[in-house]
Amino acid sequence: MRDAVHASLPGADANVPNSVLRILSDSQGALCHLTLQYIDWLALQLLPDTAETEWLDRHSNIWLVNADGTTGRKLASLASGTASFQGIIDRTVIPAGTQLQSAVGMPPGSDSPNDVVTFETLEDITTSATTLVQGPIRALDAGSFGNLPVDSALWMPTPPAGVSSTASVVALTGGTDAETDDQLRSRILRRIQNPPMGGDKTDYEQWALAVNGVTRAWAAPQEMGIGTMTVRFLMDDLRADDDGWPQPEDIVAVADYIDKVRPVTVKDCYVIAPIKQFIDITIADLVPDTEEVKAEIEKSLRDMLFVTAAPGQTIFAAWVSYAIMNAPSVQSFKLVTDDDYVMPSPGHMAVLGTIYYP
């Protein structure tokens, strides 16, 4: 910028310290630098593969329609299910909208929890003094933290007179977290790279992925006969305690949505879960042979299967060996089970079983 001033104003010298021309030149140069930095950042936002969260949401609102009719990022959902209640006085009614809270985080001897999940009853529940009575409840805040294990304790801050203040979970599922940036980016790129084709294989996969909680999906045309389509999917976050395998209610939800959008010319559409095929791996002469390294190997193998495993997909020994060697601290090992893992049927899918260290 100083040279530009010197060239445009013969005789002027913008290199003189503390001169007006030097200060103006340096200020203008700084502004130009900031402008170029902004343009460089803006260029990253114009395409979804490099866009940041706010701009990624704009891309997703343009490209994606979800199963619930919303566009863009799949939002967090409320956990719902049933709880069991105990009456003190027979036939006492717990009104709809009565709040309950999880007992997790309640310090011993405290009357109120310090970090809890709040639920509400969805209908009037008539209790019994002799038996437990079940009633529907749901979380008031969306997210996976509302999914509580069976028999988890609940309590009512203001229980109706004649009802025990404690309750227990019969079933509480369905709470999902909002879609992550990486998951959203993957769906956008899949949509751009595979435009709608009136019901081809990728269309069915995208329809399954549009359902809240679904993270991976595969479609297989004519597997069940001419004119049929078979869709399998996983819910890696919502069903993480079961390797991502969907529950019957999840299969119904995906099937119902696909039936709404698929072509009527398809003879039958089968929405089913993959069949688990556990693969056991034996590793000898591990160096260093520590529990930390074994934990790294397990994580690396699970990451490999997350990327490569699919219904009917053979897991090659080379993939297993590479995943083990890719663990950060592994120096050397011998893979004893060095055969490829061939799936018994197109519906079987590899899941990590037991890792043996003889």
User: Distance between CA 187 and CA 208 in Å, rounded?
Assistant: 11
The torsion angles phi and psi of 109, rounded to 5 degrees, stand at 80, 0
- Is 68 part of any domain? no
What total number of domains does the chain contain?
4
- Quote the domain boundaries for residue 210: 194-272
How do the pLDDT tens digits run along the chain, 358 residues long? 666 666 666 666 667 677 777 777 778 778 888 889 999 999 999 999 999 999 999 999 999 999 999 999 999 999 999 999 999 999 999 999 999 999 654 444 444 444 689 999 999 999 999 999 999 999 999 999 999 999 999 999 999 999 999 999 999 999 999 999 999 999 999 999 999 999 999 999 999 999 999 999 999 999 999 999 999 999 999 999 999 999 999 999 999 999 999 998 888 999 999 999 999 999 999 999 999 999 999 999 999 999 999 999 999 999 999 999 999 999 999 999 889 999 999 999 999 999 999 9
Distance of CA 303 to the CA centre of its chain: 15
pLDDT digits (tens, 9 = 90+) for 246-261: 999 999 999 999 999 9
CA–CA–CA angle 342, 274, 230 (5° rounding)? 105
- Is 66 part of any domain? no
User: Distance between CA 76 and CA 321 in Å, rounded?
Assistant: 38
What stretches of the chain adopt beta strand conformation (E)? 80-87, 93-94, 99-102, 118-121, 125-126, 133-139, 153-155, 163-173, 216-221, 228-234, 268-272, 275-287, 332-335, 348-356
Domain boundary among 272, 304, 331: 272
Residue 320, burial from CB neighbour count under 10 angstroms (0-12, 13-18, 19+): buried
258 and 217 inside one domain: yes
Q: Which of 48, 66, 70, 50 is nearest to 58 (CA)?
A: 48
CATH, residue 209: 3.30.300
For residue 306 the two structure tokens come to 């997350």
Domain boundary among 244, 272, 300: 272
Q: Rounded to whole angstroms, what are the CA distances from 78 to 119, 140, 176, 198?
A: 10, 7, 7, 33
- Is 307 part of any domain? yes
262 and 285 inside one domain: no
Specify the 3-state DSSP secondary structure of 297. Answer: helix
149 and 101 inside one domain: yes
158 and 204 inside one domain: no
User: Distance between CA 28 and CA 287 in Å, rounded?
Assistant: 59
**DSSP character at residue 65:** B
pLDDT digits (tens, 9 = 90+) for 166-183: 999 999 999 999 999 999
263 and 205 inside one domain: yes
85 and 166 inside one domain: yes
- Is 180 part of any domain? no
For 28, other C-beta atoms within 10 Å of its C-beta total: 14
293 and 268 inside one domain: no
Secondary structure (H, E, C), 182-222? HHHHHHHHHHHHCCCCCCCHHHHHHHHHCCCCCCEEEEEEC
